[in-house]
Amino acid sequence: MNDKQTNVLELTVSELSFSLKKMVEDQFGYVRVRGELGRVSRPASGHIYLDLKDDKAVLNGVIWKGVASRLKHPPEEGLEVIASGKLTTFPGSSKYQIVIDNIEPAGAGALMALLEERKKKLAGEGLFEENRKQLLPYLPKVIGVVTSPTGSVVRDVLHRLKDRFPLHVLVWPVRVQGENCAGEVSKAIDGFNAFKTGGDLPRPDIIIVARGGGSIEDLWGFNEEVVVRAAAQSQIPLISAVGHETDWTLLDLVADIRAPTPTAAAEMAVRVRADLDAKIAALTARHRAGIRRTLDTQKNHLRAAERGLSTPQSLLDIPRQRFDSIAQRLGQGLAMAASKKRAGYERIAARLSWHGLSGRVTINTEKIEGIDQRITRAVRQLLDNAGARLEQANRLLGSLSYMNVLDRGFAVIMDEKGKAVTATSSLHANSLINIRMKDGEVTARTLGTSSSTPKQPAAKRKPAVSDQGDLF
Whether residue 120 is found in the same domain as residue 84: no
Tens of pLDDT, residues 143-169: 999 999 888 888 889 888 888 888 899
> What is the rounded distance in angstroms from the CA atom of residue 43 to the CA atom of residue 102?
19
Whether residue 206 is found in the same domain as residue 236: yes
Which ranges in 309-353 belong to alpha helices (H)? 312-351
pLDDT at 468: 46
pLDDT at 4: 54
The answer to the question of residue 52 being in a domain is: yes
pLDDT at 110: 66
- Which CATH number belongs to the domain containing residue 17 in this structure? 2.40.50.140
Whether residue 172 is found in the same domain as residue 240: yes
Whether residue 227 is found in the same domain as residue 121: yes
Q: CA 223, 227, 229 angle in degrees (round to 5)?
A: 110
Report residues of the chain scoring pLDDT below 50.
Answer: 452-455, 458-460, 462, 464-472
Burial of 167 by CB count in 10 Å (0-12 exposed, 13-18 middle, 19+ buried)? middle
Q: What are phi and psi of 211, to 5 degrees?
A: -160, 150
- Residue-by-residue DSSP string for 115-152: HHHHHHHHHHTTTT-GGGPPPPPSS-SEEEEEE-SSSH
With residue 441 as reference, give the H or E element that holds it.
Answer: strand 440-445
CA distances from 144 to 140, 195, 198 (A): 11, 11, 16
Whether residue 208 is found in the same domain as residue 136: yes
Number of structural domains found in the chain: 3
pLDDT at 470: 45
pLDDT at 465: 43
Burial of 396 by CB count in 10 Å (0-12 exposed, 13-18 middle, 19+ buried)? exposed
Q: What is the value of pTM for the model shown?
A: 0.46
> What is the rounded distance in angstroms from the CA atom of residue 239 to the CA atom of residue 263?
12
Of 275, 293, 328, the domain-final residue = 275
Tens of pLDDT, residues 288-303: 999 999 998 998 888 8
The answer to the question of residue 75 being in a domain is: yes
Whether residue 75 is found in the same domain as residue 120: no
Range of the domain at 44: 13-106
pLDDT at 464: 46
With residue 428 as reference, give the H or E element that holds it.
Answer: none
Whether residue 264 is found in the same domain as residue 128: yes
The answer to the question of residue 373 being in a domain is: no
